[in-house]
Structure 1
């Protein structure tokens, strides 16, 4: 399988390079393009999520009418019967929204060239790429666990925004949860955050600035202020964990030259998290 988000210049050397004769884009221009990417991704995510929500609502209306013998209940009764999306519906809507944002931004803003695809395939054939990917995933998980333990000693015990969804899905849809967390989420998140957002800076020879900005965006998406009951210290802790995760995956993409590497590292981290959560 070819990598639709081919690696950027740098490969194993760990240095991003620009084509000969190409002027280095200014910082303001790069940051402006990054912010435009964020705005476009947010718009696509909102539209796709609304479309998925409307589709789910229409399906529930049909189900309720069918269960009611073909009669449409009164508005209040219909609303109560429709209810709220369960774990399966929420995972499907999240996957649809985020994958739509990643794919639209990739094809619209950062499509891979043939040369990038060739470099990515070459990087994916190296055994060191896969060993480093798994090692990075394990170290990211270990670092997150250690941070959580130390912060717990300090009195901070945050509850991730998606914890309730994960617990419900683990009880009712364990196979779907594994596919969602280990396959789909790593794929579309790496395509958006590492290939599109970070990759723009990498291709322009500004990888460190890209690591910082893309990791901040990654952290904010995973822990949005105001959407949980976490106190400020716990929110900061989660930002540090997710930001560090994003930085590690961006470095891995830069180091190896193929997006498959951070996808595997991300999947390894999520798989370990699910395993530990299942044993606890």
Structure 2
């Protein structure tokens, strides 16, 4: 350290203390806080309070460390504090905020440590907020790219950057995973694959076009091909004009604002045979 820098902090006092005595110390001074591999220094401006007990002590409570919110807490949780010592640089009052900031910045610059997330003296201790552009880029980098094929026309329709992109166009996650990992067809025609499939021609479309295409397939799939889809005739005995045929139990549930479990009982439970739903609806499974 140069003589000029020594002069700047000539009124500081150096104290080292073991961690087992940490919570029994009661001092009121101005301290400097910086993390280095085996040194912890604390900056606090405080009067008439037990500074060490409140500030330094909080870093070493197991209940705090176990949360792992700060990087230093994760470091202590993993490596413990056996080889860690606390160094206090106590400056005689009065001391200006400028002196404190200059002093802290000096140690940050000259004691490089990967536990110092914030390199700015008196900073928040956290990274700056990530821009939306970088958030999108990070999601894509972390995402899993996969292919979308139409097995009927044997064409490649789209290449997804991530699973999130597929979910955003209303593709159910479990159905997507079943197609990716089990080879199940989505809505009877779409195959999602983590690897490129040879023999398929390219017919790439935009994400909007793909969404519209899949939405149309869903409509046809529900009406004609869905294995769990059943056609139900809902007969209203008090007002025959309300009688209608529905293409699925879900569609019936939405129309009548009813519970599917209850509706299923009126359809299939023998103990409900002959009973009317809400005293006016009779349900019949259509054979068509």
The higher relative CO (CA closer than 8 Å, separation ≥ 6) is in 1
TM-score interval for Structure 1 and Structure 2 normalised by the shorter chain: under 0.3
Q: Comparing both structures, which one devotes a greater share of its residues to strand?
A: 2
Structure whose alpha-carbon radius of gyration is higher: 2
Q: Comparing both structures, which one devotes a greater share of its residues to helix?
A: 1
Give the TM-score, by structure 2 length.
0.19
